[in-house]
Amino acid sequence: MQKLDYGEIIKLAWKEFDGERHEIKGVFDVSAKVSTNHVYKISFYQREPVFAKISEYGNFEDFREDHIIINNLANNLEYPYQQFLAQSLVKRNELYIYRYHERERSAWVVFYNPIQIRHKLPRRLDEKHIKKLGRELARFHKACTNVSNQLPHSSKNVITDIQKLKRSIHKSEIQMQESHKDLILRHADHFLENADRVNYNTEIETIPVLVDWNIGNFSITGDGRFYSRWDYDWFRMSSRVMDFYFFSRVVSDVGDRTVFSYKVDTLMEDRFMLFLKEYHKIFPLTPPEVHLIKEVYRFFILNYVIKDGPYFFRKYYSTKLIKEAYETYFPAMEANYRVEKILKTLKL
């Protein structure tokens, strides 16, 4: 299948957004080259640059819904997070999203103004960084909780996504070996049963979560407070513990990595226990939320690696991660994860 010309699509999107007022000087691909989403920097002759995100991943309705929620979140967050999130450009009071369609293919574009960046965390954190980060995420989650009732409704949640995965397997819409189908269906059922056990739909508070936290997509102030954040590929409304797995990787002993895997082991490291203790001091966790940590990790592998991986990740990464899921992630989840360690650490 012939690739879409993203540069030309972005030019069409800008023309619709701005008319002929500002002529584009250049469109430059600044993508991280991990996912199938692309980010471009657009320079102009007579205005400051903007960034464009273009995607074919997922569907337009979900993309639009997520970015509307994100923009509402960015506008409503209280001090000191009122300028933390990069905001999309708006046209005539509405979030601007350009939809391109060509035969059986579509792509959609959203524009952002550049966001200021302060300090990046080091690849391997010292204990003082880990403690500060735990406290800061707790404060940020509190701020997100405070505005969650003001945000537009999300049409999807972790339950509906896993149910969608099961339907796709039964309809053979996802290509996999028969033995793998049984394994995925079994893990999907485990997730649904355990989510029901903690009364996910009625007892677990839902807030906006960004999920994919790594040292390359947020910056901090000199004293360790969140300063700016960009990249919302996996944004969703969910339990706050959905953010924990990626922070366990950031604070892990080996540190954040460019060559990555999604092993469960970082959730059991003593360094992550230190992170959770500091988080718990600011925004205490409940036993059901702690029990949910394993399940949202399971959800992450099922949803983002197995279900969406072939569409979201570039081929090299999706092939690698799916293979590791069957060989390593699922077996290690049962063998190496012990919720008792977290409960004991937090004295719950």
Residue 1's pLDDT band (cuts 50, 70, 90): low
**What's the average model confidence in pLDDT over 1-22?**
90
User: What is residue 315's predicted lDDT score, i.e. its pLDDT?
Assistant: 85
Give a three-class secondary structure readout of the chain: CCCCCHHHHHHHHHHHHHCCCCCEEEEEECCCCCECCEEEEEEECCCCCEEEEEECCCCHHHHHHHHHHHHHHHHHCCCCCCCCECCECEECCEECEEEEEECCEEEEEEEECCCCCCECCCCCCCHHHHHHHHHHHHHHHHHHHHHHHHCCCCCCCHHHHHHHHHHHHHCCCCCCCHHHHHHHHHHHHHHHHHHHHCCHHHHCCCEEECCCCCCCCEEECCCCCEEEECCCCCCEEECHHHHHHHHHHHCCCCCCCCCCCCCHHHHHCHHHHHHHHHHHHHCCCCHHHHHHHHHHHHHHHHHHHHHCHHHHECHHHHHHHHHHHHHHHHHHHHHHCCHHHHHHHCCC
Q: Is the pLDDT of residue 137 over 90?
A: yes
pLDDT in tens, 277-333: 999 999 999 999 999 999 999 999 999 999 988 888 888 888 999 999 999 999 999
Q: Is the pLDDT of residue 258 over 80?
A: no
Q: Is the pLDDT of residue 83 over 70?
A: yes
Is the pLDDT higher at 259 or at 41?
Answer: 41
User: What is residue 310's predicted lDDT score, i.e. its pLDDT?
Assistant: 81
User: Which domains does the chain show, CATH number per domain?
Assistant: 6-112 (3.30.200.20), 127-346 (3.90.1200.10)
**What's the average model confidence in pLDDT over 134-143?**
98
Least reliable range by pLDDT among 91-95, 100-104, 254-258, 266-270: 254-258
